[in-house]
Structure 1
Amino acid sequence: MTLATWLLFVTTVFFVSATPGPNMLLAMTHGIHHGMRGTFVTCLGLMSALALIMAVSAAGLGALLATSVTLFALVKYLGAAYLIYLGVRTWRARAEPLNADGARRAAPVPAGRRFRTGFLVAMSNPKAFIFFTALFPQFMNAHAPQGPQLAILAATFFAIEASWQFAYAAGGARLAGWLGSARRVRLVNRLSGGAFIGAGILLTGVSRQA
């Protein structure tokens, strides 16, 4: 690919990744409750899922989801159910005030659970499979070796996506200083939980052509 093509890809991914969605919402929410260091594991789960999605999309699952109504619907509703479950759990979470450094006063959530949550949230949207299947070929030269081009695009995507995740997490961590009372923590839990539930409901309306 040419430098101009790569720069166009960078610009596209920069704005796509910046758009608030379940991944960024989770990074911000965990930034509030676990701080930047604690959210690193969450982001690792998010990025691990995205790596898997890219791999299976390259293997053809994205194209299969785009053509199979039944498979797409199955993945879509499972993903929506998980987002709604996560939203209900966040909504009903105990309103535990945070310390000045943004840490919970109660026992922290285990790292394994944070990683699993990040992984499942990133895996919950079937559109991600189609996104990678449809996006990457637009910036690849069909007459040049595909492997090196795919590696460059994947590395670029990872760098931009990870940067935005940490930016959202940092914003959440800064907001944590404001959450010294149970009332404010409860408000954030309700807003975050409602956003996850809303994302799950919206996901049920997504079509393969959207």
Structure 2
Amino acid sequence: MLEPYVAGILVAFGVFVLGLFSPGPNILAIIGTAMSSGRRSGKALALGVGTGSFLWGTLTLFGLTALLTAYAAFLTVIKIAGVCYLLYLAFKAFAAAWTGKDMTVRAVEAEGGFWSWYRRGLLIQMTNPKAALTWIAILSLAMDATAPSWVGGIVVLGTGVISIAGHLTYAVAFSTGPMVAGYRKAQRLIDGALGSFFVFASYKIATSER
């Protein structure tokens, strides 16, 4: 039965989508590569990053499902980790909004064609140590010890599609200077909104009774 889990799934999607509005190193690499090496290279890199995000989500889901099946009480540890990570993201967003810290794009080097850039993006994402924490926080918004595995599957599949689409959007839309300049003008407002939402998401995890 899907209904009991709809709210958590939607919040998980919301946190993931808004996280894409706060460019981290991976997104800045996509923007920088698209600007310096062209949209084709940026899109290949974006597809690699998006695929890596989906793989991280899948691995985290299998790990959490196994742990919760064996140790239901481990859910408390997962929730605490999720709350702490979301509050950390909120702190970073509020700090960026307060200081007006500018984003610095960086280009990624890769030799070869489309698949070389794709493999580079996949490697960047799969070696990102923060990815596991991100996925623990995302999945803890939708799952509990009694949730069927398909709930997590919906979250992973949906966010996988969102990740690929979102990163491709950055590669296409932010491959020009004016788009980057426009984002920079609105960045403080965006960071403030993101911080508020991350605080809300951490509250949802902390007060969830499921």
TM-score by length of 2: 0.56
1:193 equivalent to 2:191? Answer yes
Counterpart of 1:75 in structure 2 is 81
1:195 shift after superposition: 4.0
The CA distance in 1 between the partners of 2:52 and 2:108, in whole Å, is: 17
1:94 equivalent to 2:136? Answer no
1:113 shift after superposition: 6.1
1:49 shift after superposition: 3.2
- Higher-Rg structure is 1
Structure 2: state its 5+ residue gaps: 33-41, 110-119
Q: Does the aligned pair in 2 maintain the 1:86–1:196 contact within 8 Å?
A: no
Residue 136 of structure 1, aligned match among 144, 149, 161: 149
Q: Does the aligned pair in 2 maintain the 1:27–1:43 contact within 8 Å?
A: no
What number of residue pairs does the alignment pair up?
A: 174
CA distance change for structure 1 residues 122 and 61 in 2, over 3 Å: closer, same or farther? same
| Aligned residues with identical type, % of pairs | 14
1:49 equivalent to 2:56? Answer yes
Q: Which amino acid aligns with 1:22?
A: V
Q: Does the aligned pair in 1 maintain the 2:31–2:107 contact within 8 Å?
A: no
1:165 equivalent to 2:163? Answer yes
Question: Equivalent residue of 2:163, what SS?
Answer: helix
Q: Does the aligned pair in 2 maintain the 1:125–1:203 contact within 8 Å?
A: no
1:61 equivalent to 2:68? Answer yes
CA distance change for structure 1 residues 87 and 37 in 2, over 3 Å: closer, same or farther? farther
1:77-98 CA distances to partner (integer Å, 9 max, x unpaired)? Answer: 32223322552576554345xx
Aligned-residue Cα RMSD (Å) equals 4.4
Counterpart of 2:114 in structure 1 is none
1:19-73 CA distances to partner (integer Å, 9 max, x unpaired)? Answer: 752333344642873543333344344323322332133214374355x4xx355
Q: Relative to structure 2, which stretch is displaced further, 109-118 or 164-173? A: 109-118
Q: Does the aligned pair in 1 maintain the 2:11–2:141 contact within 8 Å?
A: no
